[in-house]
């Protein structure tokens, strides 16, 4: 039996033991770490692969967050990391997007392709007369070795039942209800996924595309575009693009000066708008404008303009425009900070900061794409790496308790019903802030709902096995019991 077979069978048994009829918690963290170790044991060549180390480190972070918090964010992070572990570590050049597609492909189709691929090979081999004759003899010989003892046992089983009433009564009482077909089905599904995962199969065309592709634009392969029925001259395209970037720089400069004046001097919201409308409308339009900005840059610098002798001037205008987009993002972050100081911290307002960070990363990588004359897909690869890293690195933070602490420190009017909707690990902090609610009615209503939330949490925790354990929930349970 091969080493990979032992790992597949072992992983299947671990999967079945950890997850059958269980919720997700410490079991997912343990299994994620095991898959990292198993992937290196199965294929030691991955020790030389930077992608394998990158994904393994991210998986360890996600697994640690899962063991600590056991929340939805950590579950999603572990899922993505496991998929990438099977799909992204095949070669040193595989990116996140192709890695996810390859990971899903090998998990879902690896077993199917392995089985039917071998069947097709055998069918082709069987077409030779010599193979058919030899294997027919082997098959008859092996079936004979198995069939003879089985037939003898069945014969004597029937004879003994007919001759011995005690034996017949005993066999009639055999109870096979202990065999759980649900468990067998669950284990077989785990075996199917893991067998496919360890096959390290990939979508050939996508993998070959990434392995062969040079991500820098090659001047010899640049194609001209058509305009009004004829090929557009590069000097005309250069002139149009330069005028566009100059005008866009002037336009966005006016916008940024207005935002700077609002943030530092006036701080007055336009009439007829609430602060929420002012911020949300601005973020929505900004999302669209930045996407259009990056798309324009990708189109303009798709080819020949990267190699023109006077291309430095247009690059400077493009850099200036992208930099001003980053300044506009900073102003959005400033508006969001004003909103938080007035109305408190929520997940949506944290989301605005995350969006600003990811968009700024995208713009910086776009500047890098222009400087290095990369192809557009090169930018897609680098941004997907960055976004995946930011996502995994966000999992170790206790966002829920951070929201409560921030709102308490600001000593503003608190949306107590929003705070009650946060995760169970915030319950001790909610009990601590109960007496600070000024309204007696709100305080009593808050206390009743908090009691209900606490009872549900303790009942749920008391019924959990160690496989569903998480440090944060265990600590919360201990704090409540000692309260």
CA dist., res. 133 & res. 247, Å (int): 81
62 and 191 both lie in a single domain: yes
The Cβ of residue 35 has, within 10 Å, a number of other Cβ atoms equal to 26
Boundary of a domain, candidates 185, 215, 245: 215
The answer to whether position 401 is within a domain reads: no
Q: Beta-carbon neighbour count of residue 24 at 10 Å?
A: 20
Burial class (CB in 10 A: 0-12, 13-18, 19+), 466: exposed
Per-residue pLDDT band for 144 (boundaries 50, 70, 90) equals low
pLDDT for residue 213 is more than 70? no
Q: Which of 184, 215, 246 is the last residue of a domain?
A: 215
Residue 405 lies in a domain: no
Query: Is residue 211 located within the same domain as residue 233?
Result: no
What's the pLDDT score for residue 310?
A: 64
DSSP state of 216: B
Q: Which of 61-65, 204-208, 306-310, 352-356 has the lowest mean pLDDT?
A: 306-310
C-alpha pair distances (Å), 309 with each of 170, 235, 404, 446: 95, 11, 57, 69
Of 194, 215, 236, the last residue of a domain is 215
Q: pLDDT of 157-206, one tens digit each?
A: 888 888 888 888 887 777 656 667 888 889 999 999 998 888 878 888 88
Is residue 397 a part of any domain in this protein?
no
* Pair 171, 161: CB distance under 8 Å: yes
Stronger pLDDT, 182 or 76, i.e. the higher one: 76
Assigned token pair, 71: 């929340």
Instruction: Enter the pTM of the model.
Output: 0.81
Indicate whether 107 belongs to any domain. yes
Domain that holds residue 471: 410-482
Query: Is the CB of residue 392 less than 8 Å from the CB of residue 420?
Result: no
The least confident of 117-121, 211-215, 457-461, 466-470 is: 117-121
In whole angstroms, give the CA distance from residue 20 to residue 180.
11
* pLDDT of 386: 93
Tell which residue, 52, 43, 38, 48, has the closest CA to residue 88. Answer: 52
In a domain, 270, yes or no: yes
Q: What is the pLDDT of residue 470?
A: 94
Are 256 and 177 contained in the same domain?
no
When comparing pLDDT for 86 and 209, which is higher?
86
Q: Is the pLDDT of residue 317 over 90?
A: no
Residue 381 in any domain: the answer is: no
Q: Is 469 exposed, middle or buried (0-12, 13-18, 19+ CB in 10 A)?
A: middle
- Residue 92 shares a structural domain with residue 162: yes
What is the residue-wise DSSP string for 397-465? Answer: S-HHHHHHHHHHHHTPPP-HHHHHTS-GGGHHHHHHHGGG---HHHHHHHHHHHHHHHHHHHHHHHT--
Distance CA 396, CA 73 (A): 10
26 with 170, same domain?
yes
Residue with the bigger pLDDT between 216 and 417: it is 417
**Are 209 and 263 contained in the same domain?**
no
Is the same domain home to 274 and 249? yes
Residue 400 lies in a domain: no
Q: What is the mean pLDDT of residues 285-313?
A: 75
Region of poorest pLDDT, from 59-73, 304-318, 342-356, 415-429: 304-318
- The one-character DSSP state at 266 is I
Kindly report, residue by residue over 428-472, the tens digit of the pLDDT.
Answer: 999 988 888 878 888 899 999 999 999 999 999 999 999 999 999
pLDDT in tens, 260-283: 887 777 667 766 666 666 666 667
pLDDT-based confidence at 119, cuts 50/70/90?
A: very low
Average pLDDT taken over every residue of the chain: 82
**Distances from the Cα of 473 to the Cαs of 22, 63, 165, 368, 480, in angstroms?**
16, 16, 58, 44, 11
Cα angle: 435, vertex 415, 405; to 5 degrees: 65
Residue 233 banded pLDDT, cuts 50, 70, 90 = low
Same structural domain, 2 and 110: yes
Within this chain, do residues 370 and 248 fall inside the same structural domain, yes or no?
yes
Q: Let me know if residue 188 belongs to a domain.
A: yes
Our count of domains for the chain comes to: 3
pLDDT, greater one: 201 or 323: 323
Q: How confident is the model at residue 475 (pLDDT cuts 50, 70, 90)?
A: very high
- Over residues 87-97, the pLDDT tens digits come to 887 676 788 88
Among 109, 67, 61, 58, which Cα is nearest to 85's? Answer: 58
Token readout for 328 is 């506009």
Sign of CA dihedral 470, 99, 105, 377: positive
Banded model confidence at residue 140, pLDDT cuts 50, 70, 90: very low
Are 37 and 118 within one domain? yes
Is 275 found in the same domain as 210?
no
pLDDT tops 70 at residue 79: yes
Same domain as 196, residue 245: no
The span from the first CA to the last CA of the chain, in angstroms, equals 56
- Where are the alpha helices (H) located in 88-128, listed in sequence order? 96-126
């Amino acid at each position: 039996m091969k080493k990979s077979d032992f790992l597949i069978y072992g992983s299947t048994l671990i999967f079945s033991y950890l997850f059958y009829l269980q919720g997700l918690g410490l079991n997912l963290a343990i299994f994620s770490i095991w898959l990292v170790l198993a992937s290196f044991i199965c294929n030691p060549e991955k020790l030389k692969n930077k992608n394998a180390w990158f994904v393994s480190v991210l998986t360890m972070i996600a697994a640690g967050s899962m063991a600590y918090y056991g929340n939805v964010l950590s579950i999603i992070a572990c899922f993505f990391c496991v998929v990438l572990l099977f799909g992204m570590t095949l070669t040193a050049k595989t990116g996140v997007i192709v890695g996810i597609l390859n990971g899903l492909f090998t998990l879902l189709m690896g077993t199917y392709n392995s089985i039917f691929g071998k069947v097709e090979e055998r069918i082709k081999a069987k077409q030779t007369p010599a193979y058919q004759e030899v294997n027919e003899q082997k098959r008859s010989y092996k079936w004979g070795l198995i069939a003879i003892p089985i037939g003898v046992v069945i014969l004597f089983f029937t004879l003994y039942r007919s001759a011995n009433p005690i034996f017949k009564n005993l066999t009639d009482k055999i109870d096979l209800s202990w065999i759980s077909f649900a468990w067998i089905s669950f284990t077989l599904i785990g075996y199917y996924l893991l067998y496919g995962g360890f096959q390290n199969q990939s979508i050939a065309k996508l993998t070959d595309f990434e392995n062969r592709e040079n991500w820098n634009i090659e001047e010899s392969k640049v194609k001209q575009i058509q305009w009004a029925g004829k090929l557009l001259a590069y000097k005309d395209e250069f002139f149009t693009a330069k005028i566009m970037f100059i005008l866009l720089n002037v336009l966005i400069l006016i916008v940024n000066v207005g935002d700077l004046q609002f943030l530092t001097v006036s701080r007055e919201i336009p009439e007829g708008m609430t602060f929420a409308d002012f911020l949300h409308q601005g973020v929505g339009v900004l999302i669209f404008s930045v996407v259009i900005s990056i798309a324009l840059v990708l189109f303009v610098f798709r080819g020949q303009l990267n190699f023109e002798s006077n291309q430095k001037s247009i690059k400077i205008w493009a850099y200036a425009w992208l930099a001003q987009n980053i300044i506009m993002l900073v102003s959005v972050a400033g508006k969001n900070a004003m909103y938080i100081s007035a109305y408190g911290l929520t997940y949506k307002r944290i989301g605005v900061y995350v969006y600003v960070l990811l968009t700024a990363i995208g713009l910086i990588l776009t500047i890098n794409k222009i400087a290095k004359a990369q192809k557009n897909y090169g930018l897609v690869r680098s941004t997907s790496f960055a976004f995946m890293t930011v996502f995994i690195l966000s999992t170790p933070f206790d966002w829920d308790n951070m929201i409560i602490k921030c709102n308490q420190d600001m000593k503003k009017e608190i949306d107590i019903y929003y705070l009650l909707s946060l995760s169970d690990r915030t319950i001790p902090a909610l009990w601590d802030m109960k007496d600070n609610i000024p309204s007696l009615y709100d305080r009593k209503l808050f206390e009743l709902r908090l009691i209900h939330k606490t009872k549900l949490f303790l009942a749920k925790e008391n019924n959990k096995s160690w496989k569903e354990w998480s440090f944060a929930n265990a600590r919360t349970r201990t704090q409540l019991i000692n309260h």
